[in-house]
Amino acid sequence: MPPICSTEEIQKIEHLQIRDDIQVATDLMECAGTKAAESIVEWHHEAQKKSSNHFHVLCGPGNNGGDGFVIARTLFDLGKKVSCWELGNPTGMSSSSALMRSKWLQRGSISPIDRFQKVVLKNGDIVVDALFGIGLTRPLDKQCSIIFENIPINIPIMAIDILSGIDSTSGKLLSVCDLPDYKATLTLTFQLAKWGHYLQEGSVRSGKIKVLPIGLDRGMREYSTENPPLVELVEANPPDFANHLDKLGASHKYDHGHSLILSGSQGKMGAAELAGTSALRIGSGLVTLGLPRDALQIHSSKVKALMVTLADKPKDLQDYLLDKRINALCLGPGLGLGGKTREFTNVALESGRNVVLDADALTSFQDNPESLFKQLHEKTVITPHFGEFAKLFPDLANKMKSDNYPVLTAVQTASTRSGAIVLLKGRQTVVASPRGKTYLVNGEKFENSSWLATAGSGDVLAGMITGLMARNIAPLKCTVLATYLHLKTASLLGPGLIADDIPNTIPQAIEQVLN
């Protein structure tokens, strides 16, 4: 699983590598620009574009512009037709960028960017965007916005490090215009992909992302010794620890754990049954539904392997937990709101077992989230969608909505504050642990993942996490694996799926992952 980084993190890594050595900085720029140019030529060849392409390289005033001048020079030396366009005053450039600019001037001219607006781009032309890269913190001005707005949709854009205007940490588009058709065909980013490539607007505007190593290895090693681990990206390939899904050696059902799913009253049992069936399908040795008295009297599950027990009041749960073989609990799906749910949650957390809290178990604490946080521990996973997240962490949710505040930072902060593993559901699902380990599971890479936005889908996910925790897999790994498999089932089922379809598709998803 490749690491990805924020703007601040890559800047620290670069600083540790360069340490104010101008020659090192210059060598890195030469390497970055050369590799980017070679990748553009490779893309050009694979795309079978006409050999008469005209490359328009847009260079900004910072180091991204320096990369652009190297790209222009390398393309020119490879026999390509190149025009170079410059934004801003070159007198403020770094010494490395100024050197690359002067080397380009030995081969070709530079035109001011405002003249580019008058160029009529033809089919076969290619735009190389080296204007701002990761350093942009303010919106694109009107001039730049108009330039990008006027690039025809059929003209490929090669973004260098990140598409200009995309915040490389939050993924937000910083522009005075909406620019609906402004997207990169290919993004060539250096050493590490950035958070902003996968979040918000960045996830739909970055095109194909290719990471180019440029020799920041020492900086990365030094960074890792003094800082929290970088976020890891989970996409189409299974997580590195997917082998934990296999059942090896242990032969008895209790060797694979016993999950307890608490259910609500009559009419609300469906959510708990979905969670329980999913826990069974993902390998929990036994699963019991804890039902209130009225539901117990009428219970008739389609899945006969699900056991039931009375859980009418918190004392019933306390008594049932005297059985130490019950090692994973799920509370929330269809459980109901209010004081009784809070009491059940308190009992579950006091037991010290693996606990998944979802839906009603979270919302029941919206008036006093701190009373919940005081009880949470590292064997607890909370699985809110954004609305539930906002009720527990209103300050973080408001910052995400009103400020340029990245979801990864918000979930990391929520995990540290609450003391639990936090899974924030969404198109890009974020999983963070209190110890600083964070994963971004990119739903964009799974076909039909948008069909998971259906009633009961979250209950299935909660049950999948619970079932894996019952198998004594580390809670953080359980959460990431379950999220991945949940998305995998959407790819297998296709459009029109409903939550009832997902549990029976889990075995097929596991088989594909293990094979």
- In this predicted model, what pLDDT tens digit does every residue of 112-135 receive, in sequence order? 999 998 888 988 899 999 999 998
Does one domain contain both 180 and 285?
no
Does one domain contain both 318 and 191?
no
Residue 173 bridge partners (DSSP): 166
pLDDT of residue 120: 87
Q: Among 135-139, 160-164, 249-253, where is mean pLDDT lowest?
A: 249-253
Residue percentage of the chain with pLDDT more than 90: 84
Structure tokens that stand for 147 in this block: 């330039």
- In this predicted model, what pLDDT tens digit does every residue of 350-382 receive, in sequence order? 999 999 999 999 999 999 999 999 999 999 999
pLDDT interval class at 177 (50, 70, 90): confident
Does one domain contain both 189 and 269?
no
Q: What is the pTM of this model?
A: 0.93
Residue 234 lies in a domain: no
Residue 253 lies in a domain: no
- In this predicted model, what pLDDT tens digit does every residue of 235-290 receive, in sequence order? 989 998 999 999 877 678 988 999 999 998 777 789 999 999 999 999 999 999 99
Does one domain contain both 217 and 264?
no
SS3 call for 49: coil
Does one domain contain both 367 and 282?
yes
Residue 392 lies in a domain: yes
At residue 92, does pLDDT exceed 90? Answer: no
Average pLDDT over residues 482-486: 98
Number of structural domains found in the chain: 2
At residue 297, does pLDDT exceed 90? Answer: no
The full DSSP string for 216-265 is -HHHHHHHHHHSPPPEEEE-SSPPTTGGGGS--S--SGGGG-EEEEE--S
Structure tokens that stand for 404 in this block: 């340029």
Residue 274 lies in a domain: yes
pLDDT of residue 18: 96
Query: What b-and-e string marks burial along 243-264, b requiring 16 or more CB atoms within 10 Å of the CB?
Result: ebbeeeeeeeeeebbbbbbbbb
Residue whose pair of structure tokens reads 């936090």 in the numeric block: 422
Residue 200 lies in a domain: yes
Q: 99 is in which domain, residue-wise?
A: 3-227
pLDDT of residue 315: 97
pLDDT interval class at 176 (50, 70, 90): confident
Residue 237 lies in a domain: no
C-alpha to C-alpha distance for 322 and 335, rounded to whole angstroms: 22
pLDDT of residue 47: 82
C-alpha to C-alpha distance for 354 and 477, rounded to whole angstroms: 13
At residue 49, does pLDDT exceed 70? Answer: no
Per-chain mean pLDDT for the chain: 94
Contact indicator for 80, 42 with CB cutoff of 8 Å? no
Distance of CA 487 to the CA centre of its chain: 13
Q: Among 154-163, 259-268, 296-305, 446-455, where is mean pLDDT lowest?
A: 296-305
pLDDT of residue 45: 87
Residue 233 lies in a domain: no
pLDDT interval class at 53 (50, 70, 90): confident
Does one domain contain both 153 and 15?
yes
